[in-house]
């Protein structure tokens, strides 16, 4: 009775199933790649434009200061500090407000409370970060987050 | 220990446990920072402590996998390891890379570390879990290649069992998928899309193969059940893992810019992802019930059964809880995610490594099992860590449900920080559970010293009346 379903059948299910679903996943990825240009705002990223350069620099600063270690961006990251994928809209579509917030962080924190570190960015760097966050907010995320609080 | 070269596993296991302790100490720091926001600020800001917490986790789990491979591959292939020397050298390379990286996180600001390590040449830093400097990532690739070469040559020249082949496929996938960590375009959607090829396809893909083969190995050894039966289960479980988990990646593509059809693909396939974990539970309990011997290492059997149950609850049940797109719309990136992450990682990957270590360490120390006193301590540590992790998960889930309601679901959504203060009680309770977990880990580490002392005094592994005869002839 035990031999109705043999080990070699199980092995074939593993190899066959894996290959099939790898191919399916790759096919879906291919289709996604073809759809993305309409959704991911890539026209803003052209490195020959000033905006494109600012976004690239903003993402670089985002990474070099490990912002993802406290914040989420499009819901991914750490859950210690607010979502930033929509911070541009939450701050009233205002890049200056984002810059002012980052600049006003106290160097030694706030007693007993969470506080963002002071980073001492130059004005050009702040511009770049704000531009990157504006770009992030314009990605088509299927309506997420549910409201402006992120 | 049947083959001398299996001994190279020992330093890997010891380093894994050392890094585990560091991981939990930093976990407690994070737990405090959640409720006392300025704790250690600005010296160790939250993001730095979190990097240490997650990166030491990843490294020690990889150390555990490597140690497990070095232990079980010679036994499965019935020959000595291709090059024990290479395994030793790679151990020190890996440990040094990990130590330097963590020291870098703690000593200099992250931006300075990025600058010092030339991140602009090939930018890969600053993304969750992949925070390591590019040069560390290169080091990881070198260690992984040398490791795969060593293991691969051993398998090629020896007996080929399902356990060793599945482990090899899992490790190969692990190394190949890690290469996507070097792809970091400015286009945020593409960056995130392929970031998941490392993160999701590791933990809900190839790592499950490694987990399955380690569990199968320990069950074969401790229960004496026929290999044919165990390996059949193994194939079915990992087949289900990949069939559901590959397209299941789609549950990460709901809200990051990918097309809406991922909400269907991701929901349906990831709703099936608990299946392989459920089968693992049935498998482990069946094998133990049908055991043909009572292995004197009872602690190892407890860890194995615990792995199968808590992996199912953490990865399976808590994953399903928030994987359907209409639910995930509200829970995405909330404390619900954190709750799931904690229990899934602990249940699946922490426990399988401890299972393997618990089984192999006594043998590496020249005895079949540790003294009963040492095993009782291990069992205490199992219950302390597991129960406290269940509570961590429940408290984070409570926090998450409130957070989702107050911040996203009500008609008058509140700002993030306002909500965080309202749910602080749950964070305090989580912190207390975290301290109990740390206590459990200390008990676990103590068990090794008790085992060594009892062995020196010649205390037998099990009480005299213990039954070692076959139970089911």
State ipTM.
0.97
Q: How far apart are CA B163 and CA B217, in angstroms?
A: 7
Question: DSSP alpha helices (H): ranges in chain A?
Answer: 7-35, 50-64, 87-90, 95-103, 123-137
Q: In angstroms, what separates the C-alpha of B192 from chain A's closest C-alpha?
A: 9
Question: Quick one: tokens of B311?
Answer: 């992996």
Instruction: Pick the residue from chain B with its C-alpha nearest to A71.
Output: B47
Kindly give the pairing relationship between strand A76-77 and strand A72-73: antiparallel
> For residue B189, which residues of chain A lie inside 8 Å, CB to CB?
36, 39-40, 139
What residues of B are in contact with residue A79 (Cβ under 8 Å)?
333-335, 337-338
Q: From the CA of A137, how many Å to the nearest CA of chain B?
A: 11
Return the closest-CA partner of residue B52 out of B415, B43, B391: B43
Count other Cβ atoms within 10 Å, centred on residue B436.
16
Looking at residue B465, what is its pLDDT? 43
Q: How confident is the model at residue A4 (pLDDT cuts 50, 70, 90)?
A: confident
Q: Inter-chain contact B38–A67, Cβ cutoff 8 Å?
A: no
pLDDT of amino acid A2: 52
- Rounded to whole angstroms, the Cα distance separating B210 from B163 reads 9
Q: Which of B110, B239, B334 is facing A13, going by the closest CB pair?
A: B239
Closest CA to B369 of B241, B281, B455, B260: B455
Closest residue in B to A54 (Cα–Cα): B186
Q: Do A11 and B235 touch (CB under 8 A)?
A: yes
- Give the pLDDT confidence score for residue B460 in this predicted structure: 77
Cβ atoms of residues A78 and B128 within 8 Å:
yes
Predicted confidence at residue A119, as pLDDT, reads 95
Residues 252 through 271 of chain B touching chain A, CB cutoff 8 Å = 253-260, 262-263, 265
> How confident is the model at residue B459, as a pLDDT?
87
Whole-prediction pTM value? Answer: 0.96
Taking 70 as the pLDDT cut, the residues of chain B under it are: 462-473
Chain A residues closer than 8 Å to B188 by CB: 40, 59, 73-74, 135-136, 139
Interchain CB distance below 8 Å, A110 and B189:
no
Q: Name which of B380, B354, B377, B375 is nearest B466 in CA terms.
A: B375
Q: Do B97 and B136 touch, CB atoms closer than 8 A?
A: yes
With CB atoms and an 8 Å threshold, state whether B42 touches A110. Answer: no
Fold of the domain spanning A41-150: Cytochrome Bc1 Complex; Chain D, domain 2 (1.10.760)
* A17 has pLDDT over 60: yes
Q: What is the pLDDT of residues A54-111, one digit of tens each?
A: 999 999 999 999 999 999 999 999 999 999 999 999 999 999 999 999 999 999 999 9
Residue B1 is predicted with a pLDDT of 84
């Amino acid at each position: 009775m035990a031999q109705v379903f043999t080990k070699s059948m199980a092995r074939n299910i593993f190899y066959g199933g894996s290959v099939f679903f790898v191919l399916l996943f790759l096919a879906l990825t291919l289709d996604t790649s073809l759809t993305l240009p309409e959704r991911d705002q890539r026209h803003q990223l052209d490195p020959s434009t000033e905006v494109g350069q600012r976004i690239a620099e903003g993402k670089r600063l985002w990474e070099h200061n490990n912002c993802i270690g406290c914040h989420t961006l499009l819901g991914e990251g750490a859950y210690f500090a607010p979502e930033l994928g929509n911070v541009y809209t939450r701050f009233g579509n205002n890049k200056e407000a984002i810059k002012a917030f980052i600049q006003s962080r106290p160097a030694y924190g706030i007693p007993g409370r969470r506080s963002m570190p002071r980073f001492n960015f130059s004005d050009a760097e702040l511009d770049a970060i704000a531009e990157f966050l504006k770009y992030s907010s314009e990605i088509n995320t299927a309506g997420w987050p549910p409201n402006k609080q992120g | 220990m049947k083959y001398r070269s299996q001994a190279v596993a020992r330093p890997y296991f010891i380093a894994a446990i050392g890094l585990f302790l560091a991981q939990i100490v930093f976990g407690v720091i994070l737990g405090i920072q959640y409720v006392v926001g300025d704790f250690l600020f600005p010296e160790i800001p939250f993001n730095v402590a979190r990097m240490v917490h997650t990166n030491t986790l990843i490294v020690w789990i990889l150390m555990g996998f490597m140690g497990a491979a070095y232990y079980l591959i010679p036994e499965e292939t019935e020959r000595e390891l291709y090059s024990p020397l290479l395994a030793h050298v790679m151990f020190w390379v890996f440990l040094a890379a990990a130590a330097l990286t963590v020291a870098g996180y703690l000593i200099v600001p992250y931006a300075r570390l990025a600058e010092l390590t030339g991140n602009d040449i090939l930018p890969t830093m600053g993304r969750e879990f992949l925070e390591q400097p590019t040069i560390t990532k290169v080091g990881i690739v070198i260690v992984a290649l040398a490791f795969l070469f060593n293991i691969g040559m051993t398998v090629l020249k020896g007996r080929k069992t399902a356990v060793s082949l599945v482990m090899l496929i899992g490790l190969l996938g692990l190394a190949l998928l890690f290469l996507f960590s070097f792809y970091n375009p400015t286009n945020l959607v593409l960056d995130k899309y392929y970031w998941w090829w490392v993160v999701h396809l590791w933990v809900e893909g190839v790592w499950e193969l490694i987990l399955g083969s380690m569990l199968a190995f320990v069950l074969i050894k401790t229960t004496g059940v026929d290999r044919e039966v165990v390996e059949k289960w193994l194939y079915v479980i990992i087949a289900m893992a990949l069939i559901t988990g590959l397209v299941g990646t789609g549950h990460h593509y709901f809200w990051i810019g990918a097309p809406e059809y991922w909400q269907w693909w991701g929901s349906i396939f990831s709703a099936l992802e608990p299946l392989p974990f459920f089968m693992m539970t049935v498998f482990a309990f069946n094998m133990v019930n049908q055991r043909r011997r009572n292995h004197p290492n009872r602690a190892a059997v407890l860890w194995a059964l615990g792995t199968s149950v808590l992996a199912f609850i953490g990865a399976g049940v808590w994953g399903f809880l928030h994987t359907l797109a209409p639910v995930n719309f509200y829970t995405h990136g909330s404390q619900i995610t954190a709750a799931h992450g904690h229990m899934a990682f602990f249940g699946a990957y922490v426990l399988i490594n401890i299972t393997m270590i618990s089984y192999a360490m006594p043998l590496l120390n020249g005895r079949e099992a540790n003294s009963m006193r040492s095993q009782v301590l291990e069992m205490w540590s199992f219950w302390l860590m597991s129960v406290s992790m269940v509570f961590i998960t429940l408290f984070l889930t409570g926090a998450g449900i409130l957070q989702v309601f107050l911040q996203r679901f009500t008609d008058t959504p509140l700002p993030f920080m306002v909500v965080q203060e309202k749910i602080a009680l749950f964070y305090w309770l989580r912190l207390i559970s975290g301290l109990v977990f740390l206590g459990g880990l200390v008990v676990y580490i103590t068990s090794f010293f008790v085992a060594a002392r009892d062995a020196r005094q010649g205390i037998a592994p099990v009480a005299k009346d213990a039954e070692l005869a076959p139970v089911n002839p």
